[in-house]
């Protein structure tokens, strides 16, 4: 079985153990998740849950919104059932758990990608203000988000040993190659048919920008979480994260980033138009007043 086949199997497995309550809300149970993540005994899994709770508390989350204790009828030997303590987990709780589980297990690494992507997709879906934005407004919002997160990515890469501008250009291209099926920034630029003065990030639609934003945030987290050291390891990490994002897009039936349409107007032109429109509006308001 290939690596991609294993990852697809894991993604399906995480979906298969998902439950839906009477109000249509999805959840997972700690005992089911512990088995999927390869913990032979539930008691060995509980310290991971506690670390996840601490992470949620540090993020100022209400613990009971994501971790709910309950008694569950669990099958034991000989087909008998017994009530045992269990925990109802939100998607966010699962995300924190896999972030704190043993990263050496392939299923854990794939779980980190699965829950992180699903969480980010739901965050954007649930954000009413974001959903009300028009495509151009979404592009501006996501591009600004990406600019901000790229600053954090630069810092994490520097801490790992990526020091010079050339080092960072090479590091960035590893992320692009993973996400774009082997294409670096120059190849993407050519593929999009952009002018020399145009930047690829300014010539992406909201879906493509969201994929790159996820690539950046998850690479930053992995560099820091795994305490990556050395340019080579940092480059490999960026490539692997980009590759996993690409494989997840494929698993979900999405369009590959390089095949997404290129907007007619790049963001620099769009920003100038928006600012000009806003300036005219203010002038008109001042005249009316």
Write down the residue that tokens 């639609």 correspond to. Answer: 205
- pTM exceeds 0.75: no
CB 91 within 8 A of CB 118: yes
Q: How confident is the model at residue 21 (pLDDT cuts 50, 70, 90)?
A: confident
- Predicted confidence (pLDDT) at residue 170 exceeds the cutoff of 90: yes
CB 156 within 8 A of CB 224: yes
Alpha-carbon gap, residue 9 to 14, rounded angstroms: 9
Q: What percent of the chain has pLDDT over 70?
A: 78
- Predicted confidence (pLDDT) at residue 93 exceeds the cutoff of 60: yes
CB 148 within 8 A of CB 213: no
Q: Mean per-residue pLDDT for 127-145? A: 73
Torsion of CA 236, 233, 56, 115, to 10 degrees: 20
Q: How confident is the model at residue 110 (pLDDT cuts 50, 70, 90)?
A: low
- Predicted confidence (pLDDT) at residue 17 exceeds the cutoff of 60: yes
pLDDT at 83: 86
- CA distance readout (Å), 79 to 39, 76, 97, 128: 21, 6, 29, 47
Average the pLDDT over each of 217-221, 259-263, 275-279 and give the range with the smallest value: 275-279
| 37 three-state secondary structure | coil
For the stretch 262-281, what's the b/e string if a residue is b when 16 or more beta carbons lie within 10 angstroms of its beta carbon? ebeebbeebbeeeeeeeeee
pLDDT at 122: 62
pLDDT at 5: 46
pLDDT at 88: 95
CB 36 within 8 A of CB 107: yes
- Predicted confidence (pLDDT) at residue 69 exceeds the cutoff of 60: yes
Considering the chain, what is the average pLDDT of its residues?
82
Between 285 and 43, the more confident residue is: 43
């Amino acid at each position: 079985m290939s690596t991609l086949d294993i990852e697809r199997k894991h993604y399906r497995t995480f979906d298969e153990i998902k439950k839906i309550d009477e109000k249509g809300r999805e959840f997972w149970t700690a005992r089911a998740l512990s088995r999927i993540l390869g913990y032979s005994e539930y008691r060995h899994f509980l310290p991971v849950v506690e670390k996840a709770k601490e992470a949620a508390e540090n993020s100022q989350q209400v613990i009971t919104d994501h971790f709910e204790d309950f008694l569950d009828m669990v099958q034991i030997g000989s087909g008998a059932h017994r009530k045992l303590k269990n925990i109802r987990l939100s998607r966010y709780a699962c995300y924190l758990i896999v972030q704190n589980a043993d990263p050496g297990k392939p299923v854990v690494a794939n779980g980190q990608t699965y829950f992180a992507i699903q969480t980010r997709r739901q965050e954007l879906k649930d954000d009413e203000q974001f959903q009300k934005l028009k495509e151009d407004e979404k592009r501006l919002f996501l591009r600004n988000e990406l600019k901000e997160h790229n600053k954090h990515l630069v810092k994490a890469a520097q801490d790992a040993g990526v020091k010079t501008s050339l080092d960072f250009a090479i590091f960035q291209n590893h992320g692009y190659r993973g996400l774009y099926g082997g294409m670096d920034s120059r190849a993407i630029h050519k593929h999009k048919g952009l002018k020399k003065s145009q930047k690829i990030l300014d010539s992406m639609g909201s879906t493509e920008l969201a994929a790159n934003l996820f690539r950046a945030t998850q690479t930053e987290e992995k560099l820091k979480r795994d305490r990556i050291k050395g340019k080579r390891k940092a480059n490999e990490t960026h490539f692997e994260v980009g590759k996993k994002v690409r494989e997840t897009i494929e698993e979900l039936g999405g369009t590959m980033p390089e095949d997404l349409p290129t907007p007619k107007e790049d963001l620099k032109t769009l920003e100038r138009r928006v600012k000009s429109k806003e300036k005219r509006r203010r002038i008109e308001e001042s005249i009316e007043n």
